[in-house]
Structure 1
Amino acid sequence: MLSAIGLDEAHESAYRALLAAGAADVPELSRRLALGEYVTERALRGLERHGLAARSPSRPGHWVAAPPGVALGALLTRQRHDLERAELAAALLAEEYRARSAEPAVPDLVEVVTGAAAVARRSAQLRLGASSEVCALVAGKPVDVTDREERAEERSAAPGLDRRVVVERAVLDLPTGVTDLTAALNRGERVRVVDRVPAELVIADRSLAVVPLASRTTEPAAFVVHAGELLDLLSALFDSVWRDALPLRLGAAGGMADDDFTDGAPDQPDAADLEILSLLLAGLTDASVARQLDLGLRTVQRRVKRLMELTGVTTRLQLGWHAYERGWITRDGRA
């Protein structure tokens, strides 16, 4: 039944058995499945790679199942993104074919811009010319975090500009990734995170988009897409990725020393708790969170332990689930 999201029968049986057991070691699960221990352990490792199972931190040698709503939802989202990426590739090829057609009646909906300077110039023009919103999907350095020379001009030209950017998780591991994103959030930009974006793009006012191309040469290139069905498809792609992405909460720990990082209210997480939780749910390790926030590892671990005690859970998978249930982390609103 779950083959559509990449799980074979053995993985599905192991996942169902683990859900029923709550927690089980390899021998116990092997008996439940009537399979050899080697086959059972291999199935568990496969589930672990898919984010559907994890080793229990409180019961050594035992495995626990990830909550279906979160874990299977992530797999479904990934499948949707793969399909959307394929649809985008097909549409881009179709529009490129039409743009190169010799028929004079074919509208010029797509430009091909080549050269690093030309691509950078068109991208800057797109951002500076926007009057209502700029949306971006980013796989590398955040393109919507503009250069210093552009920021003052952007603010004076469009003070109410709505900027939304979705970045890949790998951006958070860049040396200045969290710093850049914190600065973007402080400027009023809205930032969310996904495992990976289906394509890089920047859209201005739903009327113009720049789509960088994976060039086969050393010279950068990009599509400039004008209003039309292809642009509508790109806008729908961004909306879909934005809807499924995880909001970032950053800035609470900036400039704070470990000694200043005190506990929050007794029954609620404080802003710094939510910042750490946001980065953990985005996929960073405790050590990465500590490094990015310039905190001690023990400070981060103490905060996580407090959140687990606050929610009454024993695993971090459960903590993520309860964070959504309690509304600490949400995709709704302007977060």
Structure 2
Amino acid sequence: MLGVLGLDPDEERLYRCLVAGGGTPDDIAARSGVPRATELLDALVARGLAVAGPHGTLTAAPPAIALGALLRRQRDHLHAAELALLALAEEHARTGPGPGSVVEVLTDVAAVRHRFAQVQLAARHDVRSLVVPGLAVVPHKDNSAGDDGLRRGVRYRVIVDRASLAEPGLVQLAAASIAEGEQIRVVDRTPVKMIIADGRVAMLPLLSGRHTEPASLLVHPSGLLDALIALFESLWEHAYPLWTDEGAELEPLDRRVLTLLLAGLTDQAIAGQLDTSLRTVQRRIHALMQRAGAETRIQLGWHAARKGWA
């Protein structure tokens, strides 16, 4: 845990031992079980993390002071690196990409996964994404960079192909993402798998219709990138939101059942996605129809749209 502050695992173990109670180097070595404990303890003293006392005893320097100093130093280094990065980004923006550098081609699976994460980790403001069914190179559950972006306050807007909602576990993942602040909308069909970060870079498949293959394009600022952004915004305007439970007239489960029903899922598929029984889903739909005064599910959809239920 303290490795980010420059302590290796053995040094951290010794320091935690000191915090729990000081003693002679031999005592601490026996309690910690760390090899070369005496040598490492000398290093902790030299770095101000341990304090030598009478009779050769050692105690821990106060963590708030000792580790706080290391933390401030790391923050200073990170701030300096951030300023250098911004300067490079501004220089790159001034010079602009040449005709041959507007598009990068990536074919290696590891390189594609790395760049996909890198694009999101570098995002400062917003990420726009089109999701197709059957993602294979970076499945939804493996997109830890997206989770990191949400925690950093990056705005995520995602358009999902309706067929994706039938994939096992996707609705639960979507619900968790929505709870973290992600905005998700649904369309009948997303034309391409794509991600756009800060309006500065886009990533999409190299070959048409090959969504499950790794070969990808990385598109830098250009007329092509402008067209991709316009495509996303046009789809976003006409897509319908996946549920949000805030301020809804309906109970959360009813809202989710209704949303998936309107997305075209069968009752059985809805039950599977929401981890409930088919009978519960059918009972909820019947209750919603009664509440809306609807005799058919089509009428229920019309009423739901008029009332803003989904």
How does the TM-score come out when normalised to structure 1? 0.57
Which position in structure 2 is the counterpart of 1:4? none
CA distance in 2, matches of 1:131, 1:271: 32
The 8 Å contact of residues 115 and 220 in structure 1, kept in 2 or not, is answered as: yes
State how far apart, in whole Å, the 2-side matches of 1:144 and 1:244 are. Answer: 26
**Residue 154 of structure 1 aligns with which residue?**
149
Which segments of 5 or more consecutive residues in structure 1 lack a partner in the other structure? 1-103, 253-264, 330-335
Please give the alpha-carbon distance, in whole angstroms, between the structure 1 residues aligned to 2:171 and 2:148.
Answer: 24
Match of residue 182 from structure 1: 175
Which residue among 231, 235, 239 is the counterpart of 2:233? 239
Partner residue of 2:196 out of 194, 203, 206: 203
What secondary structure, in the 3-state scheme, does the structure 2 residue paired with 1:305 have? helix
Cα pair 2:150 2:182 within 8 Å, conserved: no
Matched, 1:113 2:94: no
**In 1, Cα distance between equivalents of 2:98 and 2:202:** 22
CA contact (8 A) 1:313 1:319 kept: yes
Give the SS at the match of 1:304.
Answer: helix
Which AA in structure 2 matches 1:273? D
C-alpha change, 1:211 and 1:152, in structure 2 (3 Å) is closer
Is residue 2:288 matched to residue 1:293? no
Using the aligned pairs only, state the percent identity. Answer: 46
Is 1:318 the counterpart of 2:296? The answer is no
2:216 is the alignment partner of 1:222 = yes
SS in structure 2 opposite 1:134?
strand
Deviation, 1:271, is 2.2
Query: Any idea what the Cα deviations from partners look like across 1:269-293, whole Å, max 9, x if unmatched?
Result: 3222111100101111111111111
Quickly say closer, same or farther: Cα 1:251–1:174, change in 2 above 3 A: farther
- Secondary structure in 1 matching 2:99: coil
Does residue 127 (structure 1) correspond to residue 120 (structure 2)? The answer is yes
- Per-residue deviation at 1:164? 1.1
Give the residue type in structure 2 aligned to 1:328.
Answer: W
Separation in 1 of the partners of 2:129 and 2:122?
Answer: 15
Larger Rg computed on CA atoms: 2
In 1, the alpha carbon distance for the partners of 2:146 and 2:128 equals 16
Task: State the secondary structure of the residue aligned to 2:160.
Answer: strand
> Quick one: distance in 2 between partners of 1:112 and 1:151?
22
1:163 partner SS: strand
Contact 2:120-2:197 at 8 Å conserved across structures: yes
Distance 2:299 2:223 in 1: 42
Deviation at 1:251, TM superposition (A): 8.0
SS in 2 for 1:202: strand
Q: Which residue of 2 aligns with 1:327?
A: 308
Question: Following the alignment from structure 1 to structure 2, what is the Cα–Cα distance between the partners of residues 228 and 148?
Answer: 27
> 2:258 is matched with which residue: 277, 294, 314?
277
Residue pair 1:165, 1:190 contacting (<8 A) in 2 also: yes
Alignment of 1:40-119 (within 5 A): 106=99, 108-119=101-112
Question: Which secondary structure state, in structure 2, belongs to the residue aligned with residue 136 of structure 1?
Answer: strand
- The residue type equivalent to 1:192 in the other structure is R
- Shift in CA distance, 138/287, structure 1 to aligned 2, threshold 3 Å: same
The amino acid across from 1:113 in the alignment is L
Gaps of 5+ in 2: 1-96
User: What is the correspondence of 1:12-31 to structure 2 with a 5 Å cutoff?
Assistant: none
Cα deviation 1:236-265 (Å, max 9, x = unaligned): 11111112122112789xxxxxxxxxxxx9
Aligned length: 209
Structure 2: distance between partners of 1:302 and 1:323: 17
Amino acid at match of 2:159: V
Alpha-carbon shift at residue 299 of structure 1 (Å)? 1.4
Which residue identity is paired with 2:116? S
Pairing 1:191–2:184 present: yes
**CA spacing shift, 1:244–1:152, aligned 2, 3 Å:** closer
Say if 1:237 and 1:288 are closer, same or farther in 2 by CA, change over 3 A. same
The alpha carbon displacement at 1:105 in A equals 6.7
Q: Quote how far apart the aligned CAs of 1:303 are.
A: 1.2
Following the alignment from structure 1 to structure 2, what is the Cα–Cα distance between the partners of residues 148 and 137?
Answer: 14
Q: What TM-score results when the alignment is normalised by the length of structure 2?
A: 0.61
